[in-house]
Amino acid sequence: MGCRSLALALAAVVLSATTTVAHHSLAAGFDVNKMLTLSGAITEMKWTNPHSWLSIDVKNDAGEVEKWAVEFGSTNALLRNGWRRDDLPVGVVVTVTGYVARDGSKQISATGVKLPDGRTLFAGQAPAN
């Protein structure tokens, strides 16, 4: 019974390590050859790991509001790049640039965020070439 438990534990570690590595592939979820710039009002900012998320309401060409999800790096990565938790309050209009989702959903992986005061914050990693 002890060997079986050890084998199951080892399998769990290997599988979780594989999942973690696969999870962080930017190019798997986003098209690094297609950039998009969006401007919209912040509805929520989630400071979470392994990725932080910003939700913004963007008006499309027809004047309808679309909800977009913006992926960033980890909370720690954002803080190391000069972000402050009070930089993105609800209601503020920001301009976000990033890579579009491969699945066509209203998601981008941000490369930068321009704040109303003119500051631009680096939001993620550049893709590996």
Task: Provide the whole-model pTM.
Answer: 0.74
CATH architecture of 25-122: Beta Barrel (2.40)
The domain ranges of the chain are: 25-122
pLDDT in tens, 25-58: 665 678 889 999 999 999 999 999 899 999 999 9
CA 27 to chain centre: 13
Burial label, 57 (beta-carbon count in 10 A; 0-12, 13-18, 19+): middle
Instruction: Say how far apart CA 64 and CA 92 lie, in whole Å.
Output: 18
Residue 15's pLDDT band, with cuts at 50, 70 and 90, is very low
Whether 52 contacts 70, CB under 8 Å: no
pLDDT in tens, 66-108: 999 999 988 998 998 889 989 999 999 999 999 999 999 999 9
pLDDT given at position 20: 42
